Structure formats: C-alpha cells, structure tokens
Amino acid sequence: MVWQKAHKLTLEIYKATKIFPKEEKFGIVSQIRRSSSAIPTNIVEGFKRRTTRDYLHFINIADASLEETKYLLLLAHDLGYLKDKEYKELLCDYEEISRMIGVLEKSLKHRL
C-alpha cells in the first residue's frame, strides 16, 4: 500500500538525517522530516474522510509534500549531507510512491 511505502521513506529519512550537521537541526532536518511524515499522514487521514472529494484533497496534499521532500533530498545531497548511493535509493523510493499516488489519484477522480 502507498501509505506503507511512504512510511518506509519517512523512516529512512529520519535515519539519514540523524548524522546531518547539528546546525541543521532546525533547518533542513526539521523541514525534510516534517514534509516526509506529511506524506503518509495525509494519505491515512484522507482514507478516513467521508467523501471521495475529501480523500482526493488529502492525496493532493500528500503529493505536494512528496515533491517538497524530493527537493529537500536534492538540497541535502548537493550540500554533501547525503552520499550518492543513499540519495539514489531515496529517489527510487520517491519515484515508486509518486507512481502509486498517481494511480490512486486517477482512481479517485474516476469515482467523482
């Protein structure tokens, strides 16, 4: 399920950011943890909403948080906080989640 993949990505990001510089604790570390955790949070919250339209709204928010997370991963990589291998692995997770969200979004739009 997409929320489980997003949860896994969030856990990987928390793990990766543990070794970021201390001065980034309230900067990129806080931002990327917040954006990544918003992905599964919005997916599961949307699932419990009463209407398909509400669910779709939360899926759109999750998708936006996913894009924010992608940019923050790029920033962390370019700043030298993520090694190439780790960055590429996280990007693969991002791409899979993005595809899954796209399929879910399309399915929900057909129900409207």
Give the burial class of 46: count Cβ atoms within 10 A of its Cβ; 0-12 exposed, 13-18 middle, 19 or more buried.
Answer: buried
**Domain residue limits, the chain:** 2-111
Q: What's the Rg (C-alpha) of the chain?
A: 15
Kindly report, residue by residue over 43-76, the tens digit of the pLDDT: 999 999 999 999 999 999 999 999 999 999 999 9
pLDDT at 38: 99
pTM for this entry? 0.96
Domain 2-111 listed as CATH 3.40.50.720: no
